[in-house]
């Protein structure tokens, strides 16, 4: 481990992050909302920590290796969530406790969108901006993680994408190519954000809301500047724009990258992607089940069933977590169905959470193969994606991921039950956090403000496990990692 | 497919099964409980059906092949559950509807032990005997299925035991060796039953209760002749005997078979078995978590915490489902913890349900391997059981099984929610039936009498899926099975 280099990297990261206090500070000054000082102080403190971490090791140079990648990735999210909590504590409103501020900040950085704050409508504009911006920055982080770093580390079968997607690094060093890849991805991310913000603005949001919600949309974050979320605007046009951009953001950014650089072949490339097809198949299936169920149970009329049904399915299945209707009180199986869709989640290489469509597709294919093998015990039946067979190594990694996901889910649920939460709340809170979805059912349907501090810390860990695809964290607590 | 041979086999089976009406008929005459006629009629009808099925094809001879094995296995449980429901409909008490009688009979045959009957204390003695006997016969079926047939069919990685356990068939024909294996296993099963019954009797049960409960114990069935289950006796001695025989019955009968024929090496063989060690480790872990939790939450004093804690952990973890305390109202995480242990279940080749300890052990080992692979990407790391590497083919089958188990669980839960059950009831009822455990939480904590007929049919399918390890049924609905 090259701790000195890690300290240098994190130091630079914190100094850069401190500069992101400037936009909310300007917002605060513009609206004169009394939070300017909090952001100024946060800027100084975070810059200071970064500077102190960087200064003594600023001349150290080492090639970083895979192993350092695990540690940097985890520290990246931890350190940013920790320091990102400062403004939320320093500002008089909301003036959160450390636990609440850390939860909120981590929820932003992991693009989960679970909130502990109840009176969102009464927050200073600058704090509202800051929360949205955290998600947007978290989305930037996750794209690079998902497209470039996880495939390189080989987490949960994501090495599958090493050969397939353009840009990612193919050797085992953290070379400058990550910087190139990151820049290219961020360009796309920025363009998507601008397109989304402009669309929202044209559809009737004011500039502030348009930008703020575009941040949370492309990041699949789900934070809003209103307690009523997207439902506040009560506009079918805005909802349709949100649906489109949530879907685009839930696709593999490697695909967007390719399409951007090969515009002639762009459509063909999208259409041929197995994961994309499976993802849209799942979304369509969810809508086909949900909309008639809403109508037949008399929950809404036809028009509203269609409008609310499509929006909530896309919002939950992509793990965004925006709300226009409270799906947690929808009848019979609908809340649980939507919740299960969040377990599938977005595509790999997107800002979405969940297990990722590609993994669920591979699990499905393996299940079908097992049945065929029972009928033809001696046949050799490869699992294919498109026309290419998937290596057994990748399949095993996917299985390992799936098993760990289920086990993590159960352990965290037991831990939450031990803090005294009821079954439905515990069941859904773990799912909402592990899948980086946000809203749950029961006591956490609207917000996470009423649960105990212990539960908040358990759920913080759960959000981080989900965002870092479990293995990245688990590797760090394995003795073998530190030994050799 | 050799349908004529299948008809002959099932005909013989039904004629044999009709004879099992004699013991409850004798019980009915002895206690003069008004149910004699019902059993006599059932005997005639079932024998008649069997005879009609057998007569036209009685001279047909074909070697049965693997493919026929799937169909016979499923029809075996279906036909017996169907005809086994006759006495429960024909007798004035309980005089069940077809749905209820089928559910109760299937629950017996699959050794699940979920009951739709509320006033068990008021049932005729012969009906009580009959329910226990169904479980005992179901246990006989499952041992042969688990030790000889599933490994031959290669279900969910159970081909692992083809080489390891003595007795099972190694070629692909359903040869007479199955009959030999079955006889040897049933000898052990019978001896265990007698030992259990005598122990219960010495500990204070009357002869009827002792035999009746020994049936449900070695079959890991969980039916009782009292509404209060084993709790009725309020005897620590009886509970201890139940614990011991539940644990023995949850071990691989292939091990018992080997031990019986190699008495000198018996102990060594048990001690060396990886699955057995893992199974006891899980049980011990459950007890270590449960007993202090019961005491510290003030649910019981130390003595009762120990007594009820150990009993319920063993009863639920082995998937027996006997009760001495209502664990569904235990505090915090305990009901869910116990429930999760039932998902692990007994050992492969036992009468226990759940996913089986060996599969969970292999999943755990694969998870650990994935973490080691992340640290050493180029190392070749085999998954070992004892000292022998496990083939990738077996591991893949185990993964396939695990995925299907989880998917089946979710689909069945959605289906139950669609019938209007609440979350906790649906969540636990599916678990209790898929794992062949019996009692659930919520509305099905005590019995399944109050849920809708639709829910009962869904749960019937779930019990069958669990008992036949999902694949056996799924293969039948795959078009490829019927095509070639
Ligand atoms: K989210
Ligand atoms: K049972």
**Do B375 and A415 count as a contact with CB atoms less than 8 A apart?**
no
How many beta carbons lie within 10 A of that of residue B288, not counting itself? 12
**Do A374 and B155 count as a contact with CB atoms less than 8 A apart?**
yes
- Closest residue in chain A to residue B359, using alpha carbons only: A403
DSSP class of residue A385 equals E
ipTM at complex level: 0.85
**Do A367 and B418 count as a contact with CB atoms less than 8 A apart?**
no
Q: What is the predicted pLDDT for the residue at A484?
A: 60
To the nearest whole Å, the CA of A368 is away from the closest chain B CA by 8
Q: What is the predicted pLDDT for the residue at A167?
A: 39
Given a cut of 80, is residue A203 above it in pLDDT?
yes
**Do B333 and A417 count as a contact with CB atoms less than 8 A apart?**
yes
Which of A218, A388, A231, A254 lies closest to A304 in space, CA to CA?
A231
Give residue for tokens 């039946």.
A381
**Do A414 and B377 count as a contact with CB atoms less than 8 A apart?**
no
Cross-chain CB nearest to A392 (options B372, B374, B392):
B392
Helix (H, G, I), strand (E, B) or coil at B109: helix
B187 is in an annotated binding site: no
Residues of chain A with pLDDT > 90, as a percent, come to: 58
pLDDT tens, position by position, B334-343: 988 998 999 9
Residue B121: exposure state from Cβ atoms within 10 A (0-12, 13-18, ≥19): exposed
Cross-chain CB nearest to A340 (options B66, B340, B410):
B410
Tokens representing A15 are 């100094």
To the nearest whole Å, the CA of A261 is away from the closest chain B CA by 32
Strands B384-385 and B388-389: antiparallel
How many beta carbons lie within 10 A of that of residue B68, not counting itself? 19
CA dihedral over A236, A239, A245, A247, signed as positive or negative: negative
Cross-chain CB nearest to B418 (options A153, A333, A407):
A333
Which of B353, B361, B435, B366 lies closest to B396 in space, CA to CA?
B366
Q: What is the predicted pLDDT for the residue at A163?
A: 45
Q: What is the predicted pLDDT for the residue at B176?
A: 53
**Do A415 and B333 count as a contact with CB atoms less than 8 A apart?**
yes
Distance of CA A422 to the CA centre of its chain: 26
Tokens representing A52 are 């102190």
Which of B433, B366, B369 lies closest to B405 in space, CA to CA?
B433
Cross-chain CB nearest to A333 (options B70, B367, B417):
B417
Given a cut of 50, is residue B158 above it in pLDDT?
yes
Q: Can you tell me the mean pLDDT for A333-348?
A: 91
To the nearest whole Å, the CA of B63 is away from the closest chain A CA by 17
Residue B384 phi/psi, 5-degree rounding, is: -115, 150
Instruction: Give A418 Cα–ligand 2 centroid separation in angstroms.
Output: 27
Q: What is the predicted pLDDT for the residue at B356?
A: 94
User: Which residue out of B374, B391, B393 would a mutagenesis test of the A interface target, given it has the greatest number of A Cβ atoms within 10 Å?
Assistant: B374
To the nearest whole Å, the CA of A102 is away from the closest chain B CA by 26
The answer to whether the beta carbons of residues A81 and A61 sit under 8 Å apart is no
Side-chain-side CA neighbours of A413 within 13 Å: the count stands at: 23
**Do A370 and B67 count as a contact with CB atoms less than 8 A apart?**
no
**Do A70 and B373 count as a contact with CB atoms less than 8 A apart?**
no
- Residues in chain B with CB shorter than 8 Å from the CB of A475 are 371, 374-375
Cross-chain CB nearest to A471 (options B337, B374, B413):
B374
Q: How far apart are the first and last CA of chain A?
A: 9
Which of B315, B332, B264, B303 lies closest to B435 in space, CA to CA?
B315
pLDDT tens, position by position, A36-49: 999 999 999 999 99
**Do B414 and A340 count as a contact with CB atoms less than 8 A apart?**
yes
**Do A400 and B367 count as a contact with CB atoms less than 8 A apart?**
yes
Q: Can you tell me the mean pLDDT for A323-335?
A: 84
Q: What is the predicted pLDDT for the residue at A40?
A: 94
- Residues in chain A with CB shorter than 8 Å from the CB of B158 are none
To the nearest whole Å, the CA of A217 is away from the closest chain B CA by 29
Q: What is the predicted pLDDT for the residue at B310?
A: 96
Ligand approaching nearest to the C-alpha of B108: 2
| For chain B, counts of helices (H) and of strands (E) | 23, 2
Q: What is the predicted pLDDT for the residue at A155?
A: 79
Domain range annotation of chain A: 391-481
Give residue for tokens 């060690």.
B277
**Confidence bin at A166 (pLDDT 50/70/90):** very low
C-alpha span between B187 and B194 (Å, rounded): 11
Residue bearing the bigger pLDDT, B180 or A206: A206
- Residues in chain B with CB shorter than 8 Å from the CB of A336 are 413-414, 417, 423
DSSP of A149-196: IHHHHTGGGTTHHHHHSSS---SSB--THHHHHHHHHHHHHHHHHHHH
- Residues in chain A with CB shorter than 8 Å from the CB of B172 are 377
- Closest residue in chain B to residue A156, using alpha carbons only: B370
DSSP of A419-480: TT--HHHHHHHHHHHHTT----SGGGSS-STTS-HHHHHHHHHHHHHHHTTTHHHHHHTSHH
Residue bearing the bigger pLDDT, A2 or B357: B357
- Residues in chain B with CB shorter than 8 Å from the CB of A479 are none
Contacts of B272 (CB under 8 A, 6+ apart): B386
**Do B375 and A413 count as a contact with CB atoms less than 8 A apart?**
no
A217 is in an annotated binding site: no
What are the C-alpha distances in Å from B130 to residues A108, B84, B190, B200, B297? 61, 9, 17, 19, 40
Instruction: Give B290 Cα–ligand 1 centroid separation in angstroms.
Output: 35
Instruction: Give A317 Cα–ligand 1 centroid separation in angstroms.
Output: 10
Q: What is the predicted pLDDT for the residue at B484?
A: 60
pLDDT tens, position by position, B65-90: 777 888 888 999 999 999 999 999 99
Give residue for tokens 């906790």.
B424
A221 is in an annotated binding site: yes
Which of A262, A243, A374 lies closest to A313 in space, CA to CA?
A243
Q: What is the predicted pLDDT for the residue at B360?
A: 93
Ligand approaching nearest to the C-alpha of A437: 1
Buried b vs exposed e over B406-426: b needs ≥16 C-beta within 10 Å? bbbbbebbbbbbbbebebbbb
How many beta carbons lie within 10 A of that of residue B136, not counting itself? 26
Cis peptide before B157 (omega within 30 of 0): no
Strands B384-385 and A388-389: unpaired
**Do B471 and A374 count as a contact with CB atoms less than 8 A apart?**
yes
The answer to whether the beta carbons of residues B407 and A367 sit under 8 Å apart is yes
C-alpha span between A182 and B447 (Å, rounded): 58
**Confidence bin at A214 (pLDDT 50/70/90):** very high
Buried b vs exposed e over B331-343: b needs ≥16 C-beta within 10 Å? ebbbbbbbbbbbb
DSSP class of residue A273 equals -
Element (H, E) at B428: helix B423-434
Rg (CA), chain A: 22
pLDDT tens, position by position, B342-356: 999 999 989 999 999
Given a cut of 60, is residue B164 above it in pLDDT?
no
Helix (H, G, I), strand (E, B) or coil at B314: helix
Tell me how long chain A is. Answer: 484
- Residues in chain A with CB shorter than 8 Å from the CB of B407 are 367
C-alpha span between A200 and B267 (Å, rounded): 73
Among the ranges given (A214-228, A254-268, A389-403, B92-106), the one the predictor scored with the smallest mean pLDDT: A254-268
Contacts of B222 (CB under 8 A, 6+ apart): B111, B112, B113, B135, B216, B229, B315, B320, B321, B322, B437, B438, B439
The answer to whether the beta carbons of residues A131 and A96 sit under 8 Å apart is no
**Do B399 and A366 count as a contact with CB atoms less than 8 A apart?**
yes
C-alpha span between B430 and B425 (Å, rounded): 8
Helix (H, G, I), strand (E, B) or coil at B44: helix
**Confidence bin at B166 (pLDDT 50/70/90):** very low
What are the C-alpha distances in Å from B394 to residues A281, A370, A466, B144, B157? 31, 10, 29, 21, 5
Instruction: Give B116 Cα–ligand 2 centroid separation in angstroms.
Output: 14
Instruction: Give B320 Cα–ligand 2 centroid separation in angstroms.
Output: 4
**Do A478 and B377 count as a contact with CB atoms less than 8 A apart?**
no
B349 is in an annotated binding site: no
Which of A356, A287, A286 lies closest to A319 in space, CA to CA?
A356
pLDDT tens, position by position, A71-113: 888 999 999 999 999 999 999 989 999 999 999 999 999 999 9
Q: How far apart are the first and last CA of chain B?
A: 9
Tokens representing A471 are 């293995």
The answer to whether the beta carbons of residues A142 and A73 sit under 8 Å apart is no
What are the C-alpha distances in Å from B13 to residues A26, B48, B69, B185, B309? 83, 12, 15, 18, 41
DSSP class of residue B379 equals -
DSSP class of residue B61 equals -
Tokens representing B168 are 């099972």
pLDDT tens, position by position, B404-462: 899 899 999 999 999 989 888 998 999 999 999 998 888 888 899 999 999 999 999 99
Strands B388-389 and A388-389: unpaired
B111 is in an annotated binding site: yes
Give residue for tokens 């204390």.
B121
Instruction: Give B352 Cα–ligand 2 centroid separation in angstroms.
Output: 7
DSSP class of residue A34 equals S
Given a cut of 50, is residue A165 above it in pLDDT?
no
- Residues in chain A with CB shorter than 8 Å from the CB of B420 are 332
What are the C-alpha distances in Å from B401 to residues A184, A329, B451? 41, 34, 29
């Amino acid at each position: 481990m090259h701790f000195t280099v890690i300290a240098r990297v994190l130091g630079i990261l914190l100094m850069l992050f401190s500069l992101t206090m400037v936009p909310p500070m300007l917002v605060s000054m513009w609206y004169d909302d009394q939070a300017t000082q909090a952001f100024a102080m946060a800027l100084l403190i975070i810059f200071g920590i970064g500077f102190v971490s960087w200064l003594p090791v600023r001349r150290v140079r080492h090639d970083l290796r895979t192993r350092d990648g695990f540690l940097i990735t985890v520290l990246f999210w931890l350190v940013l969530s920790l320091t990102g909590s400062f403004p939320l504590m320093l500002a008089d409103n909301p003036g959160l406790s450390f636990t609440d501020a850390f939860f909120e900040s981590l929820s932003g950085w992991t693009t989960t969108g679970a909130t502990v704050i109840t009176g969102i409508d009464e927050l200073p504009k600058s704090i509202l901006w800051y929360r949205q911006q955290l998600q947007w920055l978290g989305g930037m982080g996750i794209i690079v993680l998902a497209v470039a770093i996880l495939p390189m580390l080989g987490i949960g079968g994501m090495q599958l994408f090493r050969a397939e997607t353009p840009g990612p690094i193919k050797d085992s060093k953290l070379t400058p190519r990550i910087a190139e890849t990151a820049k290219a991805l961020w360009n796309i991310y920025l363009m998507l954000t601008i397109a989304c913000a402009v669309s929202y603005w044209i559809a009737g949001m004011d500039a502030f809301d348009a930008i703020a919600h575009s941040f949370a949309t492309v990041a699949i974050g789900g934070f809003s500047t209103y307690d009523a979320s997207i439902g506040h605007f009560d506009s079918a046009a805005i909802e349709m724009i949100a649906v489109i951009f949530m879907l685009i953001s839930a696709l593999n950014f490697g695909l967007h990258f390719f399409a951007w650089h090969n515009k002639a072949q762009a459509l063909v490339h999208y259409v041929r992607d197995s994961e994309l097809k499976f993802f849209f198949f799942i979304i369509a299936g969810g809508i086909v089940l949900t909309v008639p169920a809403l109508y037949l149970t008399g929950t809404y009329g036809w028009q509203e069933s269609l409008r609310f049904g499509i929006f909530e399915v896309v919002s939950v299945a992509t793990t965004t977590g925006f709300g226009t209707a409270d799906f947690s009180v929808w009848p019979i199986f609908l809340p649980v169905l939507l919740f299960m869709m969040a377990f599938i989640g977005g595509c790999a290489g997107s800002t979405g959470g969940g297990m990722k469509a590609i993994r669920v597709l591979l699990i499905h294919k393996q299940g079908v193969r097992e049945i065929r093998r029972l009928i033809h015990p001696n046949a050799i039946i490869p699992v294919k994606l498109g026309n290419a067979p998937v290596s057994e190594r990748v399949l095993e990694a996917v299985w390992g991921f799936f098993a760990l996901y289920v086990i993590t889910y159960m352990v965290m649920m037991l831990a939450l039950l031990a803090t005294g939460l009821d079954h439905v709340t515990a069941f859904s809170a773990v799912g909402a956090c592990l899948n980086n979805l946000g809203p749950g059912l029961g006591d956490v349907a609207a917000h996470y403000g009423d649960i105990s501090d212990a539960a908040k810390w358990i759920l913080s860990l759960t959000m981080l496990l989900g965002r870092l695809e479990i293995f990245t964290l688990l590797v760090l607590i394995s003795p073998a990692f530190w030994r050799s």
